[in-house]
Structure 1
């Protein structure tokens, strides 16, 4: 059996945190499981010896993009891949160069806002020269197709996935309950980077509702997890509204503590308007936490069109308030994950990756 060669270019995967790094780890793991693939991957950031599978050659990090590009060039010429996987639109020109030199096929992976409108000509060049593009949600796919002017059949879906062995229901963690002083309170949680470019996640919408939520179905407390340059704006809003007693800024949450944060929550709420997918929704639901999300972005895919949780217009204050209240009244079960979240488990994700590999690298006759 001929082993087909895959070279993956990603910004981050092993040794990095965040949703895209996690997606890349699952993608590379899925490819490395196949006996007929020889997979190598370069990570601009991250580290080695951080859980990469035996079937993968992983090299990271690099001191800058120039060093990364030079290593990718040497790797491609020595390895002569059949397929290049570009995990970042910004790698478009590099990926096209390597594709031209090695006569390989190109698969470009898209996630969120970076694909919703035309970028630089080099980024667009990478997408247009790709034999296959995948998007994590229908929302991102549709936004991409609106400007890319490529055949729709070239842009396929590869939704995010969740490790159900890691994210599972468990009793409310008493240590976190004491840390945040929320014993006897209904806890709302939002987890996400607090960057100005991510202000669409909607923490400010919840801050503006929290006092009324406490009046109508309290006692209630809101934990905002994550850090970034938008934190000060949100802190000032809390001070302006005088709701300090209802809100805690938890800061950066290490990966090993994320599951317990979901188990502490009575409701995970992120009324976003610009989410490419929202893997945090899957994590929360897998831990048994109900979810309220916005209905204007890729969150719709994560919640399976509302089958797995409540979707609401994030700009409709009344609708958002009522959705949160209804979820708090219903409560949560600490012993069971949200039914249906299994559709996003690792086994179906790996099967989908294999289908895509077989599509872009069809088996040659006689092999």
Structure 2
């Protein structure tokens, strides 16, 4: 009999943040396991509409979007949860829905995905009580796992670490030329050295480190006058004004492009355009953008105090820097700028990233969790890995 799995999400297809990317990859895992007849899966999204569903990840029979109708979402989730064998929660905000399900069926398996700042905050007593009743808290990085154990006193045996994977449909380049159309769009030439950051530019999240990179540019330009910094991502008005003032103060108008939101269809091309991706953050739960950059063959500089350490495999895939050490960041940028990557070096970096964060490994780990109750069961109990062919679920529309 297939295991009945209910996956509850806030948003999966109508937004492109890190948590939503995790939800999409996990949805595809549930689709593939359903095709193997190992699970019978249903995905509910509180805020998505049915029309938001991307057919590459789920069939229309597996997905229901509630378009912001919280009452219907809660009632349907509760009733479906009573019938499910395993319930996956994409966010701690959903934990209250399963509280009474666990009371009625204490042996039902309930797993929470823990990403980053959403679970590092102080929690209410009721949420802490429920957190302690879950079967597993599945953390995207060791940093998130450590924070949960430290802040919420969850025992280590109820925590699993499952690094995020690269989206199975992420465009992997075979050639690594800088796209001419982006050079033209941003008024650049092939002699420009390009630093690139991509992040939500929020006045309430001043821990990403892009402002520190801006402050380093005058020193870098003394040695590399052709340097340009591309800063991508949605901004709020307050943060945009702060950054524009910082740019003017340092007289960097000719060397910084604030390019705003980047459509996912152009994401790989922006990594190909760049020479270094840099985001010395202090509070990344994991940082999917890092593995997207690496999968595009781009060198990465990230902070050494958060989940970025997992994304860079403890420094094996890129440079980890102290985000509070401006001189150290400056030195790291200079070291990389002194050497232009070859085509082979980019290809090797891409291959190493795929070995660490490919979809097939992620699918196997989720499969183990659902069927065995652990991401890393003993070797004798492990299911054999196999290569997964990613096909669109055409048969379901």
TM-score (norm 2): 0.85
Counterpart check, 1:141 vs 2:140: no
3-state DSSP of counterpart to 1:291 = strand
Note if contact 1:285-1:337 (Cα within 8 Å) is conserved in structure 2.
no
3-state DSSP of counterpart to 2:8 = strand
The residue that corresponds to 1:76 in the other structure is 81
Distance in 2 (alpha carbons) for counterparts of 1:61 and 1:329: 52
Q: Structure 1 residues 21-30 or 314-323, which shifts more?
A: 21-30
The residue that corresponds to 1:87 in the other structure is 90
Instruction: Pick the aligned partner of 1:220 from 223, 227, 234.
Output: 227
The residue that corresponds to 1:210 in the other structure is 217
The residue that corresponds to 1:200 in the other structure is 207
Distance in 2 (alpha carbons) for counterparts of 1:166 and 1:337: 17
Distance in 2 (alpha carbons) for counterparts of 1:233 and 1:98: 47
3-state DSSP of counterpart to 1:314 = coil
Distance in 1 (alpha carbons) for counterparts of 2:329 and 2:303: 9
Structure 1, residues 286-305: CA drift from partner, whole Å, max 9, x if none?
00110001101110110001
Cα drift, residue 234 of structure 1: 1.5
> Structure 2, unaligned stretches of length 5 or more?
378-397
3-state DSSP of counterpart to 2:166 = coil
Distance in 2 (alpha carbons) for counterparts of 1:38 and 1:101: 22
The residue that corresponds to 1:365 in the other structure is none
Distance in 2 (alpha carbons) for counterparts of 1:31 and 1:285: 26
Matches within 5 A, 1:162-201: 162-163=166-167, 166-169=170-173, 170-183=176-189, 184-201=191-208
The residue that corresponds to 1:349 in the other structure is 362
The residue that corresponds to 1:270 in the other structure is 279
Distance 1:245 1:61, change over 3 A: farther
Note if contact 1:296-1:313 (Cα within 8 Å) is conserved in structure 2.
yes
Counterpart check, 1:43 vs 2:55: no
Note if contact 1:281-1:291 (Cα within 8 Å) is conserved in structure 2.
yes
Q: Structure 1 residues 257-266 or 54-63, which shifts more?
A: 54-63
Structure 1, residues 268-302: CA drift from partner, whole Å, max 9, x if none?
00000110010000000100110001101110110
Q: Structure 1 residues 65-74 or 215-224, which shifts more?
A: 65-74
Distance in 1 (alpha carbons) for counterparts of 2:121 and 2:363: 29
Counterpart check, 1:321 vs 2:324: no
Note if contact 1:92-1:122 (Cα within 8 Å) is conserved in structure 2.
no
Q: Structure 1 residues 30-39 or 101-110, which shifts more?
A: 101-110
TM-score (norm 1): 0.92
3-state DSSP of counterpart to 2:211 = helix
Counterpart check, 1:110 vs 2:114: yes
Note if contact 2:193-2:274 (Cα within 8 Å) is conserved in structure 1.
yes
Distance 1:54 1:164, change over 3 A: closer
3-state DSSP of counterpart to 2:16 = coil
Note if contact 1:81-1:102 (Cα within 8 Å) is conserved in structure 2.
no
Distance 1:123 1:171, change over 3 A: farther
Note if contact 1:16-1:45 (Cα within 8 Å) is conserved in structure 2.
no
Distance in 2 (alpha carbons) for counterparts of 1:47 and 1:332: 43
Note if contact 1:111-1:277 (Cα within 8 Å) is conserved in structure 2.
yes
Cα drift, residue 165 of structure 1: 5.8
Q: Structure 1 residues 62-71 or 219-228, which shifts more?
A: 62-71
Instruction: Pick the aligned partner of 2:347 from 325, 333, 336.
Output: 336
Distance in 2 (alpha carbons) for counterparts of 1:219 and 1:98: 60
The residue that corresponds to 2:10 in the other structure is 11
Distance in 2 (alpha carbons) for counterparts of 1:26 and 1:136: 13
The residue that corresponds to 1:25 in the other structure is 24
Distance in 1 (alpha carbons) for counterparts of 2:168 and 2:77: 34
Counterpart check, 1:261 vs 2:279: no
CA root-mean-square deviation: 2.0
